Amino acid sequence: MASEFDLIRRHFTRAPHHTDLAVGDDAALLAPRPGMQLVVSTDMLVAGTHFLADAEPESLGWKALAVNLSDLAAMGAEPRWAVLALALPSADEAWIADLARGFFACAAAFKVDLAGGDTTRGALNLCPTVFGEVPTGQALLRSGARPGDDLWISGQPGRAALGLAHLRRETSLAAAREDCLLALHRPQPRVELGLALRGLASAMLDVSDGLLGDLGHILACSGVGAVVDEAALPLAPLLATGADPALVRRCLLAGGDDYELLFTAPPAGRDQLEALGRSLCLPLHRIGQITDQATTLLLRDTHGRYSPVAAVGYDHFR
Ligand SMILES: [Mg+2]
């Protein structure tokens, strides 16, 4: 019977495109292009915490890399390399082959080389580290928001949380069930949008723990406040699923796992951003404004009334 080491070598080795020395030696050799800063991020996925232990392995492989690439997208960085540390409870070859297929589908879609990794026997745990590049000084940070900037969100936040609620039988979705499950299992890192926002956005992050909670990070890092305009939130497509309106609202404002980009930009960039959304076929919603009231987050309802909100997101240690 093949060892886990052989299985990993069989299923996790692909010819590299832009790596000087990849899987097979003691370490990888990576060369960022001249004028570029290396952008590095790691995000661990643990069975029972981030996914169910019986999760479908091909989607899991995709998602493990995709959520890491989302962090590069949030910095305006171009993905280049990944390394993967993997703990597996058993050497199930069919399972490993499916995991690898999903991982490499995502790697191919975003032109990422797997440059190395490690595998060990243990509770199921996937820990990719990703490396990207950004022209020196052009990375988009959480700290750049200024009073008067518009607040934008990409795509359709809330779908992944609705998909999860469906799987947990907390709701049944009459429509768009597949879209919600795809958002949960195969998130699309907004890499192209992140690159296009260099020089346009003033601050950015990816929404992994919920829109309001992650917005709180921008407010804290930038020392600003924000008003979120409920009428501008993309609620209608979620309500069309037939789910309970209160659940829909909670999924949109506090649901994680969609990996959309939340960013701020000066109002002078509105036309350019609307054109950008059209050219990428990705809706960009202008959902509010940055204020000078440090870290105060207000919701303006459809009657024009303001109410303060606690930034609510997912905190692993809460
Ligand atoms: Mg992030």
pLDDT tens for each residue of 135-193: 999 999 999 999 999 999 999 999 999 999 999 999 989 888 999 999 999 999 999 99
* Cα-to-centroid distance, 73 and ligand 1 (Å): 9
- Match 């900037």 to its residue by tokens: 149
Question: Tokens 């052009």 label which residue?
Answer: 138
Strand 113-121 and strand 78-88: the pairing is parallel
Model-level pTM? 0.94
- Which H or E run includes 113? strand 113-121
Query: Which protein residues have their CB within 5 A of the ion that is ligand 1?
Result: 71, 206
pLDDT at residue 78 greater than cutoff 90: yes
d(CA 1, CA 177): 41
Query: Residue 205 C-alpha to ligand 1 middle, in angstroms?
Result: 6
Average pLDDT over residues 6-30: 78
Distance 249 CA to ligand 1 centre (A): 22
Mean model confidence pLDDT for the chain: 92
Q: Other C-beta atoms within 10 Å of 266: how many?
A: 14
* Phi–psi pair at 87, nearest 5 degrees: -110, 130
Say if CB 292 and CB 224 are below 8 A apart.
Answer: yes
Ligand 1 center–CA 36 separation, angstroms? 21
**In the predicted structure, residue 1 carries a pLDDT above the cut 70:** no
Cα distance between residue 141 and residue 128, in whole Å: 22
Predicted pLDDT of residue 4: 66
- Spatial CB neighbours of 49, under 8 Å, sequence gap ≥ 6: 316
**How far, in Å, is the centroid of ligand 1 from the Cα of 29?**
26
> 238 C-alpha vs ligand 1 centroid, how far in Å?
23
Interior/surface letters 129-146, b for 16+ CB within 10 angstroms, e for the rest: bbbbbbeeeebbbbebbe
**CA contacts within 13 A on the Cβ side of 194:** 30
In the 3-class helix/strand/coil scheme, how is 243-285 assigned residue by residue? CCHHHHHHHHHHCCCCCCEEEEECHHHHHHHHHHHHHHCCCEE
C-alpha 151 to ligand 1 mean position (Å): 17
